[in-house]
Amino acid sequence: MLKKFLISILSLIVLSIGGLFLYNNFKHKPVYGIILLDKDGTKVNNSINAQKKDIEKHVVVEGKWVEPTKTLALNVTDAQKIIAFNGFKKVTGSKDNYKFEPIKKISPNEVSLFSKESTSMVTDEAYKAFPSPINEYVTLGESSAHVNNLLVLPDKQYNAFTGSPISLGVLKVKSDASKVLINYNKVEMNQLYDESGT
């Protein structure tokens, strides 16, 4: 009887230590970045204004959107503002072990196409093709759920690109973003991302 009791206690201790080890290695790791996209820019700005107390810093830029291909076009100046927030992440690794590294710079004079698909061009709403010598797998934040293609264009090409207006907000929040994302549900598209440079 005493032997069974000791075995039970020992088993409970082993299970507790194992559970603690698993929790420490696989527990939720908070992130502090949120990305907002909406064709109505006032929704993005209103959401940010309503949550001002929880936002450490933010930027809102205007882009152009092509719905059928989920293409977001930005000019170089606005793309640089997103880069300052580590908003573009280069994807490396394999399907089971993706890694996301922030893009630190882009070419100011060349068209850059960031897409999961290996392609050298994208078309706008008027079906005009925009070829790109730069094509990498880069996502907005850490997901391509809302945006399949990111097209960064020098001003002259950006002005020639036809697309619907869209507002993009990138936020660094003070709280765990997974706990406050619900406060941004009035915008068309929102997602979490790790805004840290690691």
Q: Which residue has the higher pLDDT, 23 or 63?
A: 63
Q: Could you give the CA distance from residue 78 to residue 154 in angstroms, rounded to a whole number?
A: 10
Confidence of residue 100 (pLDDT cuts 50, 70, 90): confident
Query: Hunting for tokens 């598209």 — which residue is that?
Result: 189
- Cβ of 37: how many Cβ atoms within 10 Å? 21
Q: What is the pLDDT of residues 157-192, one digit of tens each?
A: 999 999 999 999 999 999 999 999 999 999 999 999
Q: What is the pLDDT of residues 37-94, one digit of tens each?
A: 999 999 999 999 999 999 999 999 999 999 999 999 999 999 999 999 999 999 988 7
Write the single-letter amino acid at 31.
Answer: V
Helices marked H in 51-139 = 76-83
User: What are the start-end ranges of the E strands in the chain?
Assistant: 33-38, 55-66, 71-75, 88-94, 97-102, 112-115, 121-123, 129-131, 134-136, 138-140, 149-153, 164-173, 189-193
The structure tokens listed for 5 are: 């009791």
C-alpha distances (whole Å) from 181 to each of 36, 47, 86, 184 are 10, 11, 18, 6
Closest CA to 63 of 161, 129, 138: 161
